[in-house]
Amino acid sequence: MIEDKNQQRTDLGQIGEFGLIDHLAKNFEIKQSSTIKGIGDDAAVLDFKGDKVVVSTDFLVEGVHFDLSYMPLKHLGYKSVMVNLSDIYAMNAQASQVTVSIAVSNRFPLEAIEELYAGIQTACNIYDVDLVGGDTTSSTSGLVISVTAIGHVDKDNEVYRSGAKPNDLLVVTGDLGAAYLGLQVLEREKEVFKVNPQNQPDLDQYTYLVERQLKPEARKDIVKLLKDLDVKPTSMIDISDGLSSEILHICKNSDVGCDLYETKIPLDPQVISTCEEFNIDSTTIALNGGEDYELLMTISQEDFPKIKANPNLTVIGYITEKNAGAHLVTRADQKIELQAQGWKSFKSTED
Amino acid sequence: MIEDKNQQRTDLGQIGEFGLIDHLAKNFEIKQSSTIKGIGDDAAVLDFKGDKVVVSTDFLVEGVHFDLSYMPLKHLGYKSVMVNLSDIYAMNAQASQVTVSIAVSNRFPLEAIEELYAGIQTACNIYDVDLVGGDTTSSTSGLVISVTAIGHVDKDNEVYRSGAKPNDLLVVTGDLGAAYLGLQVLEREKEVFKVNPQNQPDLDQYTYLVERQLKPEARKDIVKLLKDLDVKPTSMIDISDGLSSEILHICKNSDVGCDLYETKIPLDPQVISTCEEFNIDSTTIALNGGEDYELLMTISQEDFPKIKANPNLTVIGYITEKNAGAHLVTRADQKIELQAQGWKSFKSTED
């Protein structure tokens, strides 16, 4: 690969805050009929004509949620939108708008921010959402991204974490653990690179894992699928912190217990082979890994015939009475209490 | 004042992310009938029954937008909500919900974050808005706050920056320049304190200035007043970056020019006396100071009788054709082209 030695580097200070917003927003088209006014006024104006409005917001902080040494800025832009759309879909709602705010230090040239916004734009195009607002400001240190996603849902179609009932089936989309393993692979390559910068990483056998980490997809398709199948889940949540933690959120909010079957947890073959290579337990990874952005839901038993043939949906257990507790039923048919390891961004200073 | 030597200091790492959200949210009541579901699910659910929805978002970054050496955390929480509500009111809309996300480093104990949220809560109570979501995460350095405000407006009642017409009156609420001068006073006291930490600051003659900087109020009352007076401005914007910059936004978006009269700009007596003391020009401060959070609007001449007796509204000029340009008409009756100094958060690295 021949490197361009004259890469353009435009200083953010030359452009200023107003200039930057105008510059970044000009490539974004408005496509949603609910967007009356996007970027360029004190606020965006939206019109959902009686639908319920759904709002979710998330932060992505450099050094905490991402490491720019292996996360390309375009992927980061894409992922920052996905993380938020995933929350909207977890309400059984349609995402229609996002606002994106960034705080950046002067070490980022304009071209870097353009890369970030190219990823945001790709996400907006593929997922059919409008960018309608945001704020750009300087930061004293790293890059901070705050995305707010806005969606809407027909009357009575929204699904909360709180509706699970005993005997409901516990259902998950896709497969689990790959994003976390992808992060482990990238971290390992970074350490190798530090020791030997000439070393070219060979990621061929980890392509799925790395893609799940760097370019996750929110499950917009599942909201449509559920509608087509005429299934309304009794509860739903997106898997950002790990299956274990999300199941416990549903149990706590719905005042129920559950039995989760270890043998039923869907794993990609690359997850299984890489866990063997790294000598770690694949169930632990699936339970606590996080960042899968799959959907976890509970479904009434009577809806089982509608979902049983579907390759996107895997039944992994069922809901029990609260006093039965929340358990993992192991391969050896032992019951272990589920614990939320999750992904803790606050590490104790005593660590 | 007797200092409590045993102030409680709870480490954020002990609580974790889920614990922190639960802990901070538990004191907030839901009061808006449009809030169907607040904090505690993947997204908030809002129902505006056909009204248009208005959304605005802003970042506040430590070291860029605030300095914790003189900004108490409670005031910071209050101000971070005000900054966003101000944008909603500038659309002639009612604010009804906010989401607040914070990234904090471990150097902040729980009690500090509680102070911040106490200010947010006070703002929510006084301005009658619900906190419906947010994210709490760790930060590698300072404190970053991202607020998204959501409001609603009756059909055809929204006011953009783009509706000003030649001959419309240029009208401003309150008075200008005090918040910026308050910042100068606080910066000076900080320098004095560095030299002599025993020195007690005497801020008695600057109370109004300091309050405008540390505890600004968004002009919710003006939206109501305009409705009561049966006046719909032709355009409106909030004054966050300075009068000059905001006038130019209206001129650019409305494709018009304007004449602004120096003698008409409303100034508080403390602004005038402090400008004399600091030997700076009060007009420069009013034009470029920023953070006033007053509203700037244009009003059709035929509405003049409805507003002329009102102490909240000051006519400071009028809109002209675009090719006439945007000018300040000075005390000496000279015309000077208006320039947007504003408040630039991106300083060039060459500075």
Last residue of a domain, one of B124, B153, B182: B153
Residue B163 in any domain: the answer is no
* Beta carbons of A148 and B87 less than 8 Å apart: no
* Beta carbons of B138 and A62 less than 8 Å apart: no
Q: Answer yes or no: is B173 a known binding residue.
A: no
Residue A1 has pLDDT above 50, yes or no: no
Same structural domain, A57 and A181: no
Same structural domain, A147 and A174: no
3-class SS of residue B100: strand
Give B275→chain A minimum CA distance, Å.
28
Cβ atoms of B302 and B211 closer than 8 Å: no
**Total count of domains within chain A:** 2
Last residue of a domain, one of B125, B153, B181: B153
Residue A28 in any domain: the answer is yes
Tell me, letter by letter, the H, E, C secondary structure of B153-176.
ECCCCCCCCCCCCCCCEEEEECCC
Residue A247 has pLDDT above 90, yes or no: yes
Same structural domain, A175 and A149: no
What contacts B187, CB < 8 A, 6 or more positions away?
A: none
- Chain B residues in contact with A151 by the CB 8 A cut-off are 43
Predicted confidence at residue A351, as pLDDT, reads 32
3-class SS of residue A106: coil
* Beta carbons of B146 and A146 less than 8 Å apart: yes
Same structural domain, B122 and B63: yes
* Beta carbons of B64 and A138 less than 8 Å apart: yes
* Mean pLDDT (whole number) for B41-55: 90
Residue A74 has pLDDT above 60, yes or no: yes
Range of the domain at B88: 13-153
Computed over every residue of chain A, the mean pLDDT equals 90
* Mean pLDDT (whole number) for A31-40: 87
Beta bridge partners of B144: B61, B103
Same structural domain, A80 and A207: no
Predicted confidence at residue A200, as pLDDT, reads 76
| Mutation for testing the B interface, residue in A15, A49, A57 having most B CBs under 10 Å | A57
Residue A294 corresponds to which tokens in the numbers above?
């799959």
Whole-number Å distance between alpha carbons of B303 and A264: 70
CATH number at residue A40: 3.30.1330.10
* Mean pLDDT (whole number) for B322-346: 85
| Mutation for testing the A interface, residue in B35, B57, B141 having most A CBs under 10 Å | B57
Q: What are the two backbone dihedrals, phi and then psi, of residue A56, each rounded to the nearest 5 degrees? A: -140, 150
Predicted confidence at residue B26, as pLDDT, reads 78
Predicted confidence at residue A203, as pLDDT, reads 85
Same structural domain, B320 and B192: yes
Residue A344 in any domain: the answer is no
What one-character DSSP code corresponds to residue B39?
S
3-class SS of residue A242: coil
Q: At what angle do helices A73-89 and A220-228 cross, to 10 degrees?
A: 30
Last residue of a domain, one of A119, A153, A187: A153
Region of residue A156 (left: phi > 0; alpha: psi -120 to 50; beta: else)? left
Predicted confidence at residue B147, as pLDDT, reads 96
* Mean pLDDT (whole number) for A153-173: 95
Whole-number Å distance between alpha carbons of A32 and A129: 7
Predicted confidence at residue A5, as pLDDT, reads 52
Cβ atoms of A182 and A336 closer than 8 Å: no
Task: Report how far apart the first and last C-alpha atoms of chain A are (Å, whole number).
Answer: 43
Among A61, A123, A73, A64, CA closest to A98: A123
* Mean pLDDT (whole number) for A317-327: 97
Amino acid identity of residue B288, one-letter, is N
Give A57→chain B minimum CA distance, Å.
6
Same structural domain, B106 and B193: no
- Higher local confidence (pLDDT), B315 or B341: B315
CATH number at residue B308: 3.90.650.10
Predicted confidence at residue A350, as pLDDT, reads 34
Whole-number Å distance between alpha carbons of B115 and B131: 16
Predicted confidence at residue B349, as pLDDT, reads 34
Whole-number Å distance between alpha carbons of B302 and B73: 45
Cβ atoms of B84 and A146 closer than 8 Å: no
Predicted confidence at residue B251, as pLDDT, reads 97
Residue A162 in any domain: the answer is no
Q: Any CB–CB contact under 8 A between A23 and chain B?
A: no
**pLDDT tens string B263-296:** 999 999 999 999 999 999 999 999 999 999 999 9
Same structural domain, B192 and B301: yes
* Mean pLDDT (whole number) for A180-195: 90
Same structural domain, A129 and A173: no
Same structural domain, A125 and A191: no
Beta bridge partners of A47: none
Whole-number Å distance between alpha carbons of B269 and A207: 68
Residue B51 corresponds to which tokens in the numbers above?
């009204």
Residue B95 in any domain: the answer is yes
Overall residue count recorded for chain A in this entry: 351
Kindly state the percentage of chain A with pLDDT values over 90: 69
Residue B347 has pLDDT above 50, yes or no: no
Predicted confidence at residue B24, as pLDDT, reads 78
Q: Which residue of chain B is at minimal alpha-carbon distance from A152?
A: B45
Whole-number Å distance between alpha carbons of A298 and A304: 11
Whole-number Å distance between alpha carbons of B37 and A53: 10
Q: Which of A17, A41, A50 sits opposite B161 (nearest CB)?
A: A41
Residue B102 corresponds to which tokens in the numbers above?
């914070």
* Mean pLDDT (whole number) for A127-150: 91
Same structural domain, B148 and B285: no
Q: Which of A4-8, A218-222, A324-328, B176-180 has the lowest mean pLDDT?
A: A4-8
Residue A212 in any domain: the answer is yes
Predicted confidence at residue B345, as pLDDT, reads 52
Residue B2 has pLDDT above 90, yes or no: no
Q: What are the two backbone dihedrals, phi and then psi, of residue A43, each rounded to the nearest 5 degrees? A: -150, 160
Residue A345 in any domain: the answer is no
What is the ipTM for the molecules in this complex?
0.88
Tell me, letter by letter, the H, E, C secondary structure of A168-230.
CEEEEECCCCHHHHHHHHHHHHHHHHHHCCCCCCCCHHHHHHHHHHHCCCCCHHHHHHHHHCC
Same structural domain, B48 and B96: yes
Residue B117 has pLDDT above 60, yes or no: yes
Residue B141 has pLDDT above 60, yes or no: yes
- Higher local confidence (pLDDT), B340 or B273: B273
Residue A4 has pLDDT above 80, yes or no: no
Residue A347 in any domain: the answer is no
Residue B88 corresponds to which tokens in the numbers above?
């909603």
